[in-house]
A and B are shown apart, each in its own frame.
Chain A
Amino acid sequence: MITAGIDVGSLSTDAVLLRDGEVLAYSIVNTGAQARAAAERAFEEVLEKAGISLSEVDTVVATGYGRMSVPFADGQVTEISCHGRGSAFLNPEVRTVIDIGGQDSKVIRLDGQGNVIDFLMNDKCAAGTGRFLEVMADRLELSVAGLGNEDLKAERAAEISSMCTVFAESEVISLIARGVPRPEIVRGLHRSIAERTAGMANRLGVMPRVMMTGGVAKNPGVVRALSEKLGAEIVVPPEPQIVGALGAALIARKKRSGKA
């Protein structure tokens, strides 16, 4: 049986194809301005990578903020349930999932079967999310992917006290003007994200093991800062950006066969 999960996020749209519990292929494309077109692009790409045709896919489940815009999906499930299911599949010991995506962040508590037992989400503003890092990387003339390496060069972290993207950008401009080395500014930004996220995680209660998912988990600077802040080891899967889509594909499989 082949199932697919499509996660239409604010910045990227990810698709995963699953055959009998094994990942066949995945794709990641930019969402852009049209969620539906992005979903179609991601799906076509993943089918091509796996070398299979549309007719071979049994069930498709859509997730992410654009989940209602995927006309070929057989069901819609929130990214909270999908990240939970995907994380538990990758590591059954995971009890806390921290997902920092393009425009929001979530902390999810799981039981031993990958079911969500509680969650908290910050969906009010994009501070401390992928969008925050994009704005800051742009200001520092770095690519988002380059932020992690820049952090590694730092000897200390600059103080960034504001959580708000707009105010934090002002602080960064001020630090640049004062001649603070760029790596220190980057580490300061990562710490500010970690503080914000750890606050939310501790509000819910962190139980090991902790897994981090979402695009921001690709940034080792944020992962390290968050791990220090939480005082807990953080597991990062090989491709953290596709965990939501993977969870959706797993739910599609369960939907089809009645088994997870």
Chain B
Amino acid sequence: MLGWVCTYTPEEIFATLGLESYRLYGDDRGEYAKADLEYLPVNFCPLGRACLNEGMGKGNPSLTGIVLAASCHALVHLAGAFKYAGERRGKEFFVHLLDLPRTSGDGDAAVRAFASSLRSLAGRLSSFYGVAWNDGAFYGALQAHQSVRRLLRELYRLRMGQPENFRAAGLLEVVRAAGRAKKDEFLPVLDGIVKALKGDVNGESRVDGSPAAALLAGLRRGGSPQGPRLLVVGSPLPFAYLDLIEELGGNIAGDDLCQGYRYCLPEVEEGPDPFLSLARGYLGRVPCPRMLAGKERFSYLLSLARKAGARGVIYHALKFCDASLYEYPLFREYFAEAGIPVLYLETEYRDAGLEQARTRIQAYLELL
């Protein structure tokens, strides 16, 4: 089982090579032993620490390797921590740090450089796991991945129409499940969810006993349509905070989270060179905060906010996240000029501090 973290990691490569992959979300509660403090300082990205716990804790012996992207300093250091932790396990542990350009898909040089990074990732995986690349398998895998992403975007479209009926954390659960599943197996589940939700809209609701039922139950909510529509952006945030926003009357109509909508965005066109196609598709998506495309990203987010009818934006930053801290003042200014106030929320990727957040969020909703 191969772990991965950053949304710039094309899962299609793992599927083509026949490797099972598993996205780490930093679910480090329950049976996982705390491993992070042995390798990382306390003032380190809490998501990174949680991913190390999830990947290397005692409860998860099946992980045989990890692919991280050099998307921020935290992930670069996390690769080092995984390497040490892997060596301590005694068995050979695969660690790969994917080189990632800082520019989005406009420049051909960036695309070619990223394609070359992807090619070398596939090469290293092939030799470590003794598996072979096959273009035919790639195109099959690509189709399944594209279909999953299309259906997820459909879910987001449905949510944008009636955010008061959707639980934001439930939607992220579905995206999370997609990031951990074999795509051809997950497709019918996702299809069932989308059909059932469309049935809700048309008044012909039905829930079958499939795995879709549990995800569906978590997705549904009966909020008031009078509550202000909101956009949630920034670092991945604990589900309890999303539930709190909704409990206080906010309706989350859209997000720009790497564990959320951004995961659903890459559109990869088939071409003669699979790696070039992947590089173009993944880099061409709306860039994440660490990319050098501030204004382009902001104008996209503003148009997303307008499309969602959002009256406010909640910007979440993980503690010690430099990319968020640098971006936030510019982001706030950009949205203030557009007449949309932004609420800054900081967490340590845990449910702690909910009551302080209650005041902050409620005051913001009162302001709206």
Contact = CB atoms under 8 A, between A and B. Distances in A.
Interface of A: 65, 76-81, 104, 115-119, 121, 123-124
Nearest to A116: B367
Interface in B337-357: 341, 346, 353, 355-356
A81 B362 CA distance: 10
B241 to A, nearest CB: 14
Report whether over half of chain A's contact residues are helix, strand or loop; otherwise say mixed: mixed
Can you list the 5 inter-chain pairs with the closest CB atoms, starting with the nearest? A80-B363, A123-B356, A78-B363, A81-B366, A78-B362
B360 interface: yes
Interface string B142-169: 0000000000000000000000000000
A117 B363 CA distance: 10
A77 B248 CA distance: 11
A124 B359 contact: no
A79 B359 contact: yes
Contacts of A80: 359, 363, 366-367
A78 B366 CA distance: 8
Report whether over half of chain B's contact residues are helix, strand or loop; otherwise say mixed: helix
Contact of A123 (B359, B362, B366, B367): B359
A147 B346 CA distance: 33
Contacts of A116: 363, 366-367
Interface residues of B, number: 11
Given A116-B366, A119-B367, A78 B359 contact: yes
A80 B356 CA distance: 12
Given A119-B363, A121-B360, A124-B346, 20 more contacts: A65-B355, A65-B356, A78-B362, A78-B366, A79-B363, A80-B359, A80-B363, A80-B367, A81-B363, A81-B367, A115-B367, A116-B366, A118-B367, A121-B359, A121-B363, A123-B353, A123-B356, A123-B359, A123-B360, A124-B356
Nearest to A79: B359
Nearest to B367: A116
Nearest to B342: A118
Contacts of B341: 117-118
Interface in B298-327: none
B334 to A, nearest CB: 15
27 contacts: A65-B356, A65-B359, A76-B362, A78-B362, A78-B363, A78-B366, A79-B359, A79-B363, A80-B359, A80-B363, A80-B366, A80-B367, A81-B363, A81-B366, A115-B367, A116-B363, A116-B366, A117-B341, A117-B367, A119-B363, A121-B359, A121-B360, A121-B363, A123-B359, A124-B346, A124-B353, A124-B356
Contacts of A79: 359, 363
A116 B341 CA distance: 12
Nearest to A77: B366
A115 B341 CA distance: 14
Nearest to A122: B356
A116 B355 CA distance: 21
A121 B356 CA distance: 10
A2 B68 CA distance: 63
Contacts of B363: 78-81, 116, 119, 121
Nearest to A119: B363
Interface in B2-17: none
Contacts of A119: 363, 367
A166 B223 CA distance: 44
A123 B364 CA distance: 14
A121 B344 CA distance: 10
A80 B366 CA distance: 9
Contacts of A65: 355-356, 359
A80 B341 CA distance: 16
A80 B362 CA distance: 9
Nearest to B362: A78
